[in-house]
Amino acid sequence: MTRRVKQRERVLDLVRESTGPLDAHHLADALDLHVTTIRFHLSGLVDEGLVRTQALPAEKVGRPRMGYVAVREPSYTDLIALLAARIGGSAAERERKAVEVGDDWAGILGFAPKPTTDAGALVIESLEQLGFETRTATNAFGTHSITLCTCPLAEIARSNPEVVRGIQRGLIQRVLDDHATTLGASYTVDVFPDPQDGNCLVELVLRPGQKRSETTAARGDDQVTAG
């Protein structure tokens, strides 16, 4: 990392840590850099959309000083949590609605995993695209047992676990349904409470269902356990 990049990151970190706007002179004193260097980095941060300007009262007679504040990045987790809290109805109703959301979300994301007849590999690759990591994966007698972790919805799961279960269930079901022909069988997803109390571990158990050739509308008895 170049010296200039490190300097800019230090400027940004200090602006983000501040509870109010900072001017170039304050930043220069705090970072022991020339005010011209600070202004150069602030200008670049403004252009990048990471910092915005804010007029400050003049300390002496003259033009107002220019202050800088960090632009808060949007939190989609916060947004989803607010929406989840306002879905209404019973926990079962909220989970049922969340299943539909998960299904729609999977359709928007348009997962394109490598063609495979391995249901476990299909689910793992699709969820890894969302930030999950595989902790363990075993396959015995055609049954896949998979433990995934690092759920991107973990924060929401603490306050609205039924909504997260529904989203996961709908999303995974859509992925399996969309690739049922390649897999050669249909699967039904069932989602249970997180045993880690909000750590959002996802334990998958995939069992072969009916052959896809037997009925295009059939669903097997595969289970997906998620938190």
**pLDDT tens per residue, range 64-87:** 788 999 987 666 667 677 777 778
Quickly state the pLDDT bin for 210 (edges 50, 70, 90): low
Mean pLDDT (whole number) for 168-192: 85
User: What CATH fold (topology level) applies to the domain 3-70?
Assistant: Arc Repressor Mutant, subunit A (1.10.10)
Quickly state the pLDDT bin for 222 (edges 50, 70, 90): very low
Mean pLDDT (whole number) for 118-130: 86
The closest of 14, 4, 16, 52 to 25, measured between CA atoms, is 14
Please, where are the H alpha helices in 67-220?
76-85, 91-109, 119-128, 154-159, 161-178, 180-183
Domain span(s) for CATH 1.10.10.10 in the chain: 3-70
Is-contact 157 132, C-beta < 8 A?
no
Tens digit of pLDDT for each residue in 154-179?
777 777 788 888 888 899 889 989 99
Lowest mean per-residue pLDDT among 57-61, 95-99, 124-128, 137-141: 57-61
Could you give the CA distance from residue 227 to residue 210 in angstroms, rounded to a whole number? 26
Lowest mean per-residue pLDDT among 45-49, 51-55, 129-133: 129-133
Top-ranked range on mean pLDDT: pick from 14-28, 78-92, 146-160, 176-190? 14-28
Quickly state the pLDDT bin for 196 (edges 50, 70, 90): low
HSE toward the beta carbon, residue 224, CA cutoff 13 A: 27
Q: Over 90: is that where the pLDDT of 147 sits? A: no
- pLDDT reported for residue 51: 92
CA 57-61-62 angle, 5° bins: 75
Q: Over 90: is that where the pLDDT of 36 sits? A: yes
Average pLDDT, the chain: 79
pTM score, whole prediction: 0.60
Is-contact 98 83, C-beta < 8 A?
no
First-to-last C-alpha distance (Å) of the chain: 39
The closest of 189, 190, 180 to 217, measured between CA atoms, is 180
